[in-house]
Amino acid sequence: MTLRIGKIDYLNIWHVFHLLEQSCPEGPDFHYQPGHPSELNRALDSGLLDVSPSSSFEYLLHAEKYQLLPGASISAEREVQSVLFLSPAPLNELPAWLEKNPGPIRLTGASATSSALLRVLWSQRWELPPVSWSEVPPGAGLDTGRPFLEIGNAALRHFILPPPGYHIYDLASEWTAWTGLPFVFAVWIVRRALNDTAAALLERLNRHISRITASLPEHFDTLSRQPYRPDWLPAPSLIRYWQAMSYGLGAREQAALLLFGECCTRQGLLPGAPGLTWFGRQ
């Protein structure tokens, strides 16, 4: 029996998996399946994975199939740096820009949560007029010449090397300024009804996740010097990026997740906001 674990192939959690795979190596007990969040959402939904950090929106959408791994998320407060709305015009001039340049806002096909967050902020926070949305492949937003959402490493690259002529909005900053709460981009989603062997492996995995995320800053220096770091990202910028992220799922993150569920429901993106159901608790 092998626990099938999804692995977001972004720098935001690369260091956590790097350490996790030292304690729970690939082998008969654990298998790691890399992908971007939408790929992992689909694999969880269809039962090809037992557990994965993946879009918080996927949990809210299909909560009847899932439980949450206690204490684990990918969250950010004030800034995230890698979930960005890039626009050729500032927000207050965007309605006029869209009249001159009719067409959709582009959303990266890698995202579920951030796409929903952008749509919520668009209507409920920025109060911009209704618009159409269309998906483009991850990393392709800039080539469309239109306002676009990017996430993950492609977004972080735009944060580090801002494309000329674009106004950049960090969606975690926008959410925190609006709600006073952190934003939960990803939760560790567990398929319901794991058998006893899988559940025991997952308990072991979660003990390591908790230990690793509690001591991450001690490892930042060494981790930022690994060959995985892209050449456009200096080591101090990678550390600053990791410092923006938090990996717990405490009371404020849970409140934020539920509030996001309410906002998505109001936006017509969810039929209703589900409760939070936990792995390992009766």
Ligand X SMILES: C=C(O[C@@H]1C=C(C(=O)O)C=C[C@H]1O)C(=O)O
Q: What is the amino acid identity at position 134?
A: S
Considering only residues 186-245, where is the footprint of ligand X by CB under 6 A? Answer: 186
Considering only residues 94-113, where is the footprint of ligand X by CB under 6 A? Answer: 111-113
The separation between CA 72 and the C-alpha centre of its own chain, rounded to angstroms, equals 12
Least CB distance to ligand X at residue 8 (A): 5
- By CB under 6 A, residue 55 contacts ligand X: yes
Of 20, 69, 80, 86, the residue at the interface with ligand X (CB under 6 A) is: 80
Considering only residues 136-155, where is the footprint of ligand X by CB under 6 A? Answer: 151-152
235-244 and 216-223 helices, crossing angle to 10°: 160
Least CB distance to ligand X at residue 28 (A): 28
Closest CA to 261 of 110, 127, 121, 60: 60
- Please answer whether residues 108 and 201 qualify as being in contact, where contact means their C-beta atoms are separated by less than 8 angstroms: no
Beta bridge partners of 105: 133
- By CB under 6 A, residue 86 contacts ligand X: no
CA atoms of 253 and 72, how far apart (whole Å) = 10
Structure tokens at 145: 């010449």
Build a one-symbol-per-residue string for 59-78: x at contacts with ligand X by CB under 6 A, - elsewhere. ---------------x----
- By CB under 6 A, residue 246 contacts ligand X: no
Of 3, 4, 7, 12, the residue at the interface with ligand X (CB under 6 A) is: 12
Q: How many residues touch ligand X (CB under 6 A)?
A: 17
Sheet holding 167-170, edge to edge: 133-136, 105-108, 148-151, 83-87, 167-170
Cβ proximity to ligand X: between 98 and 111 the closer is: 111
Contacts to ligand X by CB under 6 A? 8, 10, 12, 37, 55, 74, 80, 82-83, 111-114, 151-152, 185-186
